[in-house]
Amino acid sequence: MGFVWFILAIIAALFFYWLRDNHRTWYGFSEIIVGIAILFVDFVATPPNTLITGESYSTWLPTATTLIALFTGIYAIVRGIDNIIGEIRKQ
């Protein structure tokens, strides 16, 4: 099944390359949606990381994956906005 996902990912990459080349505004919107989805999955859909100590209190500790997801989501949104504005300026 992994091979099928591999092939689908390559097809999706080619589609999004075509989309960026021919319909940059739509590509920008898709980047924004992906960025929001990344942030949603990391901060809303999954429980926060907690450390339970022997004294029965918890503290939130950001992990490397949380920080990577945060900056990836922000980056995707910024790139989406940049693609939309870039296309508007070309017109």
User: What is the tens place of the pLDDT at every residue in 13-29?
Assistant: 999 999 999 999 999 99
Instruction: Give how many domains the chain has, as a whole number.
Output: 1
Q: How far is CA 48 from the centre of its chain?
A: 18
- 28: its two tokens: 């920008």
Q: What is the residue whose two structure tokens read 């994956």?
A: 65
Domain that holds residue 32: 2-90
Find the helix or strand (DSSP H, E) in which 51 lies.
strand 50-52
The pLDDT of residue 76 is: 97
Q: How far is CA 33 from the centre of its chain?
A: 8
How many CA atoms are closer than 13 Å to the CA of 44, on its beta-carbon side? 6
Stretch 24-48: mean pLDDT, rounded? 91
pLDDT, mean over the chain: 87
pTM of the prediction? 0.78
